C-alpha cells in the first residue's frame, strides 16, 4: 500500500492540534474523490481516534507524538494513526447505551462505536516495542 500517495503528519498530543489533523485529512479525502458527507465522516472518525489517544492513551500528557499517515490507492483510503500510549482491548469495549446516556446527559464512550460506524474497516495493531497502530479504511464507492 505504500507508494507515491502516502502523506504524513506528526502532531504533539494536544487537542488544539486536532484542527490541523482535520484539515490534513479533509484535504486528502476530498482530493481522493469522496463526497462532502463522506469527508466529514472520515474527519470525525480520525478526530475521535486522536482524541482517545490524547485522553486515554497518553492520559492528557501534551508532550507525546501522534503520527498520522494516509495511504490512498485505487479505491482504498487508509488513515493509519500511530502512538506510544497505553493500549486497551478493543473487543472489551461495550457499545454505548445510547438511550441511557442521553437520559443522563453523559458524553463519552462513543469513540470506537463512531469509528466503526463511520468507516468501512477499523483495525488496531498492538505489538510490543513498536508504536500502536490504528488503521481506519474507507472505500471509494464506484
Portion of the chain with pLDDT greater than 90, in percent:
73
In a domain, residue 92? The reply is yes
- The CATH number covering residue 81 comes to 3.30.565.10
**Closest by CA position to 134, among listed 63, 35, 47:** 47
Question: Looking at per-residue confidence, does 45 or 106 come out higher?
Answer: 45
Is 37 contained in some domain?
Answer: yes
The confidence band for 103, taking pLDDT boundaries of 50, 70 and 90, is low
Q: Could you list the residue range(s) of the whole structural domain that residue 119 is in?
A: 6-139
Q: Give the H/E segment covering residue 73.
A: strand 65-73
Q: Confirm whether 58 is domain-assigned.
A: yes
The answer to whether 40 touches 25, Cβ cutoff 8 Å, is no
pLDDT at 1: 39
Nearest to 101 by CA among 92, 112, 113, 109: 109
Residue 94 pLDDT: 78
Model pLDDT, residue 120: 97
Cell numbers representing residue 56 in the block: 486515554
Planar angle of CA 42, 23, 57, nearest 5 degrees? 65
Query: Which pLDDT does position 5 carry in this prediction?
Result: 75
Helical axes 36-52 vs 18-32, angle rounded to 10°: 150
Give the C-alpha separation, 141 to 98, whole Å.
29
- Domains in the chain: how many in total? 1
Supply the pTM of this predicted model.
Answer: 0.88
Is 1 within the bounds of a domain? no
In a domain, 128, yes or no: yes
Mean pLDDT of the chain: 89
pLDDT band at 102; cut points 50, 70, 90? low
CB crowding 2-39: b at 16 or more within 10 Å, else e: eeebeeebebebeeebbeebbebbbebbeebebeeebb
Segment 107-123 shows an average pLDDT of: 86
User: Per this entry, what is the length of the chain?
Assistant: 142
pLDDT, tens digit, for every residue of 50-72?
999 999 999 999 999 999 999 99
- pLDDT value, residue 112: 87
Report pLDDT for 108: 61
pLDDT over 70 (residue 101)? no
Amino acid at each position: 500500500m505504500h507508494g507515491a500517495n502516502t502523506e504524513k503528519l506528526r502532531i504533539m498530543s494536544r487537542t488544539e492540534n486536532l484542527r490541523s489533523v482535520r484539515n490534513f485529512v479533509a484535504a486528502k479525502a476530498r482530493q481522493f474523490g469522496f463526497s462532502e458527507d463522506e469527508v466529514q465522516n472520515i474527519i470525525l472518525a480520525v478526530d475521535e481516534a486522536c482524541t482517545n489517544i490524547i485522553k486515554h492513551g497518553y492520559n492528557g500528557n501534551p508532550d507525546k507524538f501522534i503520527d498520522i499517515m494516509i495511504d490512498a490507492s485505487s479505491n482504498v483510503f487508509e488513515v493509519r494513526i500511530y502512538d506510544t500510549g497505553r493500549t486497551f482491548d478493543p473487543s472489551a469495549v461495550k457499545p454505548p447505551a445510547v438511550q441511557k446516556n442521553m437520559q443522563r446527559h453523559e458524553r463519552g464512550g462513543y469513540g470506537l462505536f463512531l469509528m466503526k460506524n463511520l468507516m468501512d474497516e477499523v483495525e488496531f495493531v498492538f505489538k510490543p516495542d513498536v508504536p500502536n497502530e490504528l488503521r481506519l479504511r474507507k472505500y471509494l464507492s464506484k
